[in-house]
Amino acid sequence: MKKYYIAVIVITASLITFLHLSIFQEQSPHIVLEELYYVSLLFGALFFGLKGAILTYLFTSLLYLPFFFGNWTTSFLSLIDRLLHILFSGVFSILAGYLVDRERKQQKELGKKQYLASIGQVATTIVHDLKNPLIVILGFAKRIRDGKENVDGAAQTIIESAENMQRIVHDVLDFSKPIKLELKKDNIGIIVRKVALFRRGITAS
C-alpha cells in the first residue's frame, strides 16, 4: 500500500505543477493553483505521519522552485507571496504530521490498554475457575492428614478436582495458540444449507 500512497502524492503534486506550467501560464496561476499543493501535503501527513509530511513538503517545494523565476515572478510582492506559501506550507506539513502521529500513538496506547484489560479479565476468570477445585483438593488433603476422611473416597475427589484443573489449563493453552486459517474454494449453496440445517436442529432441540 505504501507504493500506492507514494504514487498518489507524486502524481497529485506533479499534476498541480503541470497545470501551473501549461494551462494557466498567462493568468497568474499561483493565485489559484499554488494552494492545491496542500492536498499533497495532507496526503503525506495522513499516509505517513510527520516524516511523510516533511518529505512531501520537500518534494512539492522542489516542484515549486521554478515559479520563483521567469515570467511568474514579476514583482517584489509576487516573490513575497511565493515565499509565504513556502513558509506556511512547511508549518502546515509539520503541524498536520505531528497531529496524525499523535492520534496514531493515542490509538495504539488505547489498543494496548484494552488488550491488557482483556488479559486481566481472562486471568481473573482462570483464577476463579482454578480456585474451586484447588479448595477441594486442599480441604480433602487436610482431612486425610487429620484422619477425618476415608482415603479412597477423598483420593477420588482429589483426582477429579485435579483433572478438572488440568482441563482448564489445557483449554487455556489451546486458546493461547495462534489460529491458522486456510482459504479454500467451496460451494456457497452447500454451506448455506448446512447452516440452515444446523440452525433448524438447534431450534428443534
Average pLDDT along the chain:
81
pLDDT at 139 over 80: yes
Structural domains in the chain, sorted by start: 2-105 (no CATH), 108-178 (1.10.287.130)
What is the Cα–Cα distance from 93 to 86, expressed in whole angstroms? 11
Describe the chain by its helix, strand, coil percentages, rounded to 5: 85, 0, 15
pLDDT of residue 205: 47
Q: How confident is the model at residue 19 (pLDDT cuts 50, 70, 90)?
A: confident
- Give the model confidence (pLDDT) of 70-115 as tens digits: 565 567 777 787 788 889 999 999 999 999 999 999 999 998 888 8
Task: Show the cell assigned to 165.
Answer: 484443573
Tell me the pTM: 0.59
Q: How many CB atoms lie within 10 A of CB 199?
A: 10
